[in-house]
Amino acid sequence: MTASAKDLAALIPSGFTLGVATSAFQIEGALNEDGRGPSGWDAFAAKPGSIVEDQSPATSCDHYHRMPEDVALMKELGIDSYRFSLSWSRIQPGGSGPVNPAGLDFYDRLIDLLLANGISPMAALYHWDTPLPLDEAGGWMNRDTAYRLGEFAAIAAAAYGDRVVRWVTVNEPATVTTNGYALGLHAPGEALMVKALPSVHHQLLGHGLAMQALRAAKVPGEIGITNVYSPMVPASANPLDKLSSGLMDVFQNRLFADPVLLGKYPDVIRAATFFSSFSPSAEDMELISQPLDFYGLNYYMPTRVGAGPGDGTVPEGMAEAMGDDLSDSTPGAPFHIASFPDTEITAYGWPVKPDYMSVALAEMAERYPDLPPVYITEGGASFEDVVVRDAGADRLIIPDERRLRYLADHIGRAIEATAPGGAADSIDLRGYYVWSLMDNFEWSGGYKQPFGLVHVDFDTQVRTPKASYYWLQELLAARNGAAAAGPDVERPAETADVERPRPVG
């Protein structure tokens, strides 16, 4: 049963961060303003057929112009921390070379406003929007992009290092490789299948070089990477299904986590003949596996995997975002994603499985005994919302009970699993960031996959908090109340961080 906000608040450990997350390309709009250069996503989204109904990211939530209003919504919500990403193309329009002062200034103002409102800034350096000139030179298939990210990290450190409380180097490299380079569903639209492997190594190297630059700048904030993790579940006890699920686990989870946390790629990758020429240097692996201050984990759902191409049934929302040519079963595909029986699904067709939040954490704990402190850097659900006009009070009501339940159940499971005696109690879980503050441009899903706590009317830009927003507000207020009342409960550590950035290391 879903816990009430008050009951859940009582479970939240002291110092646990609750935040919301967004990313630059998904919310900012203003793609051609104040010296921003084009990104690979600008070009990809402009190609007919790339985005659902060819929807455009040009304005999106218009956050670039409405940033103070959005920070006010966060303040009103009462969150501890805000995770956003820096638009590389806004700050360094060419992806190398000169810096754009107007771009730097935007995040300067954002960070200051967050701090003035008691919200600690968590900045991601790379959330998928590669500057177009770098994509044109091969993007993440080109090793040079990793060095460019290192250079960008140094620029960001010099500009914001004194105030950013937590840094994410790279967000979900697995999604960039799978969707951007293997299947062609995201920018830069390459469908290289297994030949996309170099994009894995170069993103991880980019993470390593970015960390090195942030460390060299002696930023006081904590530094980590964000990987998505999806527990893999074989569709049956059939050995072929088990094998397929194991392979998916390697390609989606281990390929990205093992090098960072264990310093090596999974053996099966090294053994496969088509990768036999892949032999990263010891120096690369050292950069990639340097000690982290935290590990960022995005958890949305488990994945059920069956052998062979499947029967071609893909949930409607997913099919729409994948485009017609990829939504049918792919003849000859070695494995497919199967649906979970009797399971609620989101608008994307993703299974809602809060129990697997605990499984994800337990598997991480088992695989990586030296895991640093963990933040769930994203979790949330897209559901079609219904906007109801409350004529009496002249306001809109958005009763998104399913999203609210998703969040309550997942936050609850994460806290239970990492509490003493829980399935993953060796993990030092420090926080949970809800994806997302507001409905936004959901990549190839366009505006048809709303994940927000706040509804955005994309015609008028009017923001309306949903029931899930008010629920989170109540949870935070109850937690703060409990913290204030309890004699031995400390105030959330976040506030201390904001006032006095903690030296690292």
- Active-site annotation, residues: 172, 378
To 10 degrees, what angle do helices 63-77 and 467-485 make?
50
**Nearest to ligand BGC of 228, 424 (CB atom):** 228
What is the smallest separation between the CB atom of 255 and ligand BGC, expressed in angstroms?
A: 16
**Nearest to ligand BGC of 265, 451 (CB atom):** 451
Q: Which stretch binds ligand BGC (CB under 6 A): 58-66, 169-177, 210-218, 265-273?
A: 169-177
Residue 438 within binding range of ligand BGC, rule CB under 6 A: no
Q: Which stretch binds ligand BGC (CB under 6 A): 32-40, 170-178, 387-395, 423-431?
A: 170-178
Helices (H), 50-143: 63-77, 88-91, 101-116, 132-136
Residue 171 within binding range of ligand BGC, rule CB under 6 A: yes
Using the rule CB under 6 A, which residue among 152, 435, 469, 471 binds ligand BGC? 435
What is the smallest separation between the CB atom of 421 and ligand BGC, expressed in angstroms?
A: 31
What is the smallest separation between the CB atom of 192 and ligand BGC, expressed in angstroms?
A: 20
Residue 172 within binding range of ligand BGC, rule CB under 6 A: yes
Q: Which stretch binds ligand BGC (CB under 6 A): 168-176, 245-253, 329-337, 354-362?
A: 168-176
Residue 228 within binding range of ligand BGC, rule CB under 6 A: yes
DSSP states of 76-98: HHT-SEEEEE--HHHHSTTSSS-
DSSP 38: P
Q: Residues binding ligand BGC: what is the number (CB under 6 A)?
A: 11
- The two structure tokens encoding residue 55: 């929807």
Residue 442 within binding range of ligand BGC, rule CB under 6 A: yes
What is the smallest separation between the CB atom of 435 and ligand BGC, expressed in angstroms?
A: 5
**Nearest to ligand BGC of 321, 498 (CB atom):** 321
Please count the other Cβ atoms lying within 10 Å of the Cβ belonging to residue 154. 17
What is the smallest separation between the CB atom of 218 and ligand BGC, expressed in angstroms?
A: 28
What is the smallest separation between the CB atom of 129 and ligand BGC, expressed in angstroms?
A: 10
Residue 258 within binding range of ligand BGC, rule CB under 6 A: no
**Nearest to ligand BGC of 175, 253 (CB atom):** 175
Q: Which stretch binds ligand BGC (CB under 6 A): 93-101, 167-175, 388-396, 483-491?
A: 167-175
Evaluate whether 440 touches 26 at the Cβ level (below 8 Å): yes
What is the smallest separation between the CB atom of 153 and ligand BGC, expressed in angstroms?
A: 19
Using the rule CB under 6 A, which residue among 9, 19, 23, 141 binds ligand BGC? 23
DSSP states of 10-30: HHPPTT-EEEEE--HHHH---
Measured CA to CA, the distance from residue 48 to residue 53 in angstroms comes to 9
Q: CB-based contacts of 146: which residues, under 8 Å, 6+ apart?
A: 140, 202, 203, 205, 206, 208, 209
What is the smallest separation between the CB atom of 61 and ligand BGC, expressed in angstroms?
A: 13
**Nearest to ligand BGC of 84, 451 (CB atom):** 451
Residue 256 within binding range of ligand BGC, rule CB under 6 A: no
Residue 249 buriedness (CB in 10 A; 0-12 / 13-18 / 19+): buried
The contact mask relative to ligand BGC for 343-382 (x = CB under 6 A, - = no) is -----------------------------------x----
Among residues 79, 82, 101, the alpha carbon closest in space to that of 92 is found at: 101
Length of the chain: 505
Q: CB-based contacts of 349: which residues, under 8 Å, 6+ apart?
A: 314, 315, 316, 317, 318, 319, 339
**Nearest to ligand BGC of 128, 160 (CB atom):** 128
Using the rule CB under 6 A, which residue among 175, 178, 346, 444 binds ligand BGC? 175
Residue 439 within binding range of ligand BGC, rule CB under 6 A: no
Strands (E), 286-334: 294-298, 303-307
**Nearest to ligand BGC of 26, 100 (CB atom):** 26
Q: How far is CA 308 from the centre of its chain?
A: 29
**Nearest to ligand BGC of 416, 442 (CB atom):** 442
DSSP states of 381-430: -------EEETTTTEEE---HHHHHHHHHHHHHHHHHHSTTSTTTTS-EE
Can you name the residues that pair with 464 across neighbouring β-strands? 455
What is the smallest separation between the CB atom of 23 and ligand BGC, expressed in angstroms?
A: 5
Residue with tokens 């309306």: 464
Residue with tokens 């299947």: 183
Among residues 334, 474, 342, 354, the alpha carbon closest in space to that of 7 is found at: 474
CA separation (Å) from 20 to 15, 145, 324, 439? 16, 29, 33, 12
Residue numbers 376-405 binding ligand BGC by CB under 6 A: 378
What is the smallest separation between the CB atom of 503 and ligand BGC, expressed in angstroms?
A: 29
Q: CB-based contacts of 159: which residues, under 8 Å, 6+ apart?
A: 91, 104, 107, 108
Residue numbers 78-117 binding ligand BGC by CB under 6 A: none
The contact mask relative to ligand BGC for 296-335 (x = CB under 6 A, - = no) is --x-------------------------------------
- List residues near ligand BGC by CB under 6 A: 23, 26, 171-172, 175, 228, 298, 378, 435, 442, 451
